[in-house]
Structure 1
Amino acid sequence: MSIVLDEDNTEDSSELRVSILEELGTKKHRAITRTDRLIYILKKPANFLREKFSPGSMKSSIFNILASTMGAGILLLPYAVNLAGFYFGIILIIIGMMCSLIASQLLIIVAENLGLDTYNMIGERLFGTKMKVFTEISLIISNYGAAVTFLVLLKSLVPLILKRIGTDNDVLQSEYLWGCIITLFIVFPLCLFKQMTSLKYTSTICFFSLVYLCFAITFTFFSMRFGSCGERISEATEMKTSWTVFEVFPIIIFAFTSQPYALPIYEELQRKTTTRGFKVLNRSLGMALGLYLLIGIFGYLTFYKEYSTLDFPDEILNGDYENGNVVMILATCATLAIALTGCPLSFYPCRQAIFSFVWGEKPVSSKNHMFITAIMLLSAMGISLAIPNIRVIVTVLGSTLSPIVCFILPCWFYIKTFRGKTGKMTLVLCWAIMALASIFGLIGLVVFCVETAGGIN
């Protein structure tokens, strides 16, 4: 097995192809040129976008994977680079992306080979009922934790926005107030959708919000540090040897947890093939890597001289940006949009695992669907109100369940499925990913606990 490189793909779906040819009034079997496509876009832009982003389309799937991958952990990347050192932090982010891509591809290969489309069904086929139960529980807790992370972030963003614009009212600054309002009146309706493709427009919003967030952090670096940009890059610490470096690994692992979403999105993909599934992964994770690097690099360079290693802001938006900075106010609003769109995507696989665990293959009624969603969301809201910041939950998840669900299980499934049929290099790669995810995740958790208790200076 090797990483499948992306190829240029200009083919249109069969429905879009028919629409273009009918609009042009030409033969239905001739090839579509770029000019034909441009004419159709100019004549009927709304139809083109609707068909291009239809449920299960390539672009809809890419946005769904991207929105699922780039969660609340994106704000911790400058902090991770600060702990690891400038160049070593960049290397770790790239390695995290490569491991995530390989694990996702392995998962799709296994699903295609076995003809199954869920973690628990694959686990049951390969290892029996106990693995099915273990997989379901791991998925439920992992994705539930990811949703809690979004809610922890949401409760702090609105007060931060109000602070940036100069509002100091104690009631309006209450994180508990905004946590309840946003969860009940915005997140809950979004979580009621039964299909991930129903969230394709929210995923598009998430994508453009991510792009703006990266632009804002990059632009603000050059505007705040104009005249010393080169000096800051040249004086940045290349690699740090403190024990706190190990705290970086859970953050990186958590940042690339797209695997639970890969299977349902792959199953909804139009004209589903392994090659098309790999293209979705390559493009979405490639874009995620680019955005991660921009935020991690320029967020770190903006403030590393102003803070010590352990005093560096956990979430980059809490950095010492001046109040009234319109660019950063809008960036905080963009992050709010990211959290609002990412939370339902985290709940989806968690809820599906609960349905499978309780009802098996039986269809779930709308009443039970709403009841389970409400219970999940209300309990998650209660937990989120008790957690002070996202670094706590990201580190715990990134060192425990995220390595299991997103790296260890896909590799383990692949080894079991193709035992005796796969090359030695692929086998070594699978074992290496499992070992690294386990060891560094555990060490990261220990270091975080010691550092939190004040044992590391």
Structure 2
Amino acid sequence: MVNYSAIGGSSSSSSDTARGRRRRSGRSLKDQNFTGQASWISSNVNLVNTIIGAGTLATPLALSHMGITLGTFVIIWSGLTAAFGLYLQTRCARYLERGTSSFFALSQITYPNAAVIFDAAIAIKCFGVGVSYLIIIGDLMPGVVRGFNEGADAIPFLVDRHFWVTCFMLIVIPLSFLRRLDSLKYTSVIALISIGYLVVLIEYHFVKGDTMADRGPIRVFKWAGLVSTLQSFPVIVFAYTCHQNMFSILNEIKDNSTRRTTSVIAASIGSAASIYVLVAITGYLSFGNAVQGNIVGMYVPSIASTIGKAAIVILVMFSYPLQVHPCRASVDAVLKWRPNSFKHSRNSPNSSPSRTVPLLTGGPAQPMARNDTIGELRFAIITTVIIILSYTVAMTVSSLDKVLAYVGSTGSTSISFILPGLFYYKISAPDSIHHQRLTKEEDEEDSADEEEAMGEQYGSRSKAWRSALLRKLSLCLAIYGIFVMILCLCTNLFFTGIAH
């Protein structure tokens, strides 16, 4: 929900004035023509599924390099920084018309000439991760078949990765053509059940202690060295990347108030961090320094471990459409981008792209989710091209580790830290037209209560202080993102590449 700051008058008169202003402007949440339909639970499910992937299984290896103490701290720290980036996205969305939030829309009113670069980076990142999911399916399914049928090698196509990639594409294609992210909530539930099974499997073997015979030494406080730590750091940072879908969730959620969206972030990041810490510590204690990148593959072959591999396949299969969704929107924005197309609206003091000028279309402003602004034919063509290209790459390339390392280092850090930080720092500047317009309207969520409790003058000063602090922290997040990007790129250039 759009936040407004209190201006002048006593508590009662200010509230009356605010109600009159809301009636005249027609901008209150209840009066808006666009209302999201997604529930708090479905928003959480989709965001958690975007965050948690097969990379969860690599967290024990990260702990073996960093040690339990440092590794746990890095997991929690990375979760906090990722959550702050998501929170800044919710703050930035206040400056845009309800239902039109996107990185592209923000770039049009902050850094318009760089909009195409931002969306291109997001498209490449999501496309690369989607391809990696298909490759994981092709790599794991032959082992799953062998686990259930020892004579599977006698039937060549059952252990052929190309066959399984093709089969699973037939499943994900219909899901990839869904316009609304909320439509994927049921498949996301299935994916989360899969990751739940993997967590239970790891905890079962840890409690049973059947891996102790082959366990290596344990590092509690010591680390394996700077090089090994730098190799594992990108894995943990990228494990929280979900920012490409955050704007879709903000557009679709029914109650988009600050308190509600913040609770979605807290619940999603908190759930992911809890799972990462649990799997990392118990998985590492099970195998010690002998742990490998995919911990499920280390267990003695059994029906349970085979089901675990199948669960990974199900997880990445239902995560693939979650990558197509933002990729399609970004590709569409790149194709529609024209240099200086919004120059007039940006320079005019009487207009605001976030309020009166359509960001993606040429007609009157109509708040809609970003994928809903794409015409039927255009939607079908872009989706088809993404699917065909990803399928072609997955069929011809057996490993994208090095490529995805560079894509992840640039794309993930950009959309997680750099873009949210830079966008909020720019749009919340005191001399920003959009910020000035926003602060002239009353905050219907908390201004009245704040004034009654503390007094108008103190409440205004407190809010101004919080806004100034948040703006400084957003700049710090952007600088931190640049540092992480350089660190990850150097790690990939000089050491073994690690993909998200």
Matches within 5 A, 1:201-240: 201-225=186-210, 236=220, 238-240=222-224
Q: Do residues 426 (structure 1) and 408 (structure 2) align?
A: no
Matches within 5 A, 1:426-445: 426-445=470-489
Matches within 5 A, 1:340-351: 340-351=317-328
Matches within 5 A, 1:307-318: 307=290, 312-318=291-297
AA in 2 matched with 1:196: L
Q: Do residues 446 (structure 1) and 490 (structure 2) align?
A: yes
Contact 1:75 1:317 in 2 (8 A): yes
Contact 2:47 2:246 in 1 (8 A): yes
| Cα deviation digits, residues 88-107 of structure 1 (max 9, x gap) | 11111111110011000001
Residue among 220, 224, 242 paired with 1:258:
242
1:333 matched to which residue of 2? 310
Q: Do residues 199 (structure 1) and 197 (structure 2) align?
A: no
AA in 2 matched with 1:259: H
Contact 1:412 1:430 in 2 (8 A): yes
Q: Do residues 269 (structure 1) and 247 (structure 2) align?
A: no
1:102 matched to which residue of 2? 84
1:43 matched to which residue of 2? none
2:230 matched to which residue of 1? 246
After TM superposition, the score normalised by the length of structure 2 is 0.72
2:161 matched to which residue of 1? 175
AA in 2 matched with 1:205: I
Q: Alignment partner of 1:262: what SS?
A: helix
Matches within 5 A, 1:57-136: 57-115=39-97, 116-128=100-112, 130-136=113-119
Distance 1:357 1:294 in 2: 40
AA in 2 matched with 1:172: L
AA in 1 matched with 2:299: Y
Distance 2:320 2:188 in 1: 11
Distance 1:263 1:153 in 2: 27
The alpha carbon displacement at 1:76 in A equals: 2.4
Q: 1:431 to 1:272 in 2, by over 3 A?
A: closer
1:398 matched to which residue of 2? 408
After TM superposition, the score normalised by the length of structure 1 is 0.78
Matches within 5 A, 1:21-40: none
Distance 1:361 1:75 in 2: 43
Distance 1:328 1:429 in 2: 44
Q: 1:442 to 1:283 in 2, by over 3 A?
A: same
2:353 matched to which residue of 1? none
Q: Do residues 189 (structure 1) and 191 (structure 2) align?
A: no
Q: 1:390 to 1:205 in 2, by over 3 A?
A: farther
More moved, 98-107 vs 85-94: 85-94
More moved, 217-226 vs 344-353: 217-226
Q: Alignment partner of 1:328: what SS?
A: helix
Residue among 380, 383, 386 paired with 1:376:
386
Contact 1:164 1:329 in 2 (8 A): yes
Q: 1:395 to 1:76 in 2, by over 3 A?
A: farther
Unaligned runs of at least 5 residues, structure 1: 1-53
AA in 2 matched with 1:313: Q
Contact 1:164 1:322 in 2 (8 A): no
The alpha carbon displacement at 1:352 in A equals: 1.2
Contact 1:246 1:440 in 2 (8 A): no
Contact 2:104 2:118 in 1 (8 A): yes
1:284 matched to which residue of 2? 268
Distance 2:255 2:484 in 1: 39
AA in 2 matched with 1:94: I
Contact 1:163 1:323 in 2 (8 A): no
Q: 1:137 to 1:235 in 2, by over 3 A?
A: closer
Distance 2:403 2:172 in 1: 20
The alpha carbon displacement at 1:163 in A equals: 3.3
RMSD over equivalenced CA pairs, Å: 2.6
2:454 matched to which residue of 1? none
The alpha carbon displacement at 1:199 in A equals: 0.8
Distance 1:112 1:388 in 2: 43
Residue among 121, 133, 137 paired with 1:150:
133
Q: Alignment partner of 2:495: what SS?
A: helix
Contact 1:250 1:444 in 2 (8 A): yes
Distance 1:234 1:446 in 2: 28
Residue among 293, 297, 300 paired with 1:322:
300
Number of aligned residue pairs: give it.
390
| Cα deviation digits, residues 193-247 of structure 1 (max 9, x gap) | 1111111111111222222211111212222447789x98965564232312112
Q: 1:277 to 1:302 in 2, by over 3 A?
A: same
Distance 2:403 2:143 in 1: 20
Distance 2:182 2:207 in 1: 38
Distance 2:37 2:313 in 1: 25
More moved, 401-410 vs 369-378: 369-378
Distance 1:389 1:301 in 2: 29
Q: 1:162 to 1:356 in 2, by over 3 A?
A: same
Distance 1:120 1:82 in 2: 40
AA in 2 matched with 1:280: V
Residue among 405, 408, 415 paired with 2:418:
408
AA in 2 matched with 1:197: D
Q: 1:261 to 1:386 in 2, by over 3 A?
A: same
Q: Do residues 159 (structure 1) and 142 (structure 2) align?
A: yes
The alpha carbon displacement at 1:69 in A equals: 1.3
The alpha carbon displacement at 1:389 in A equals: 4.5
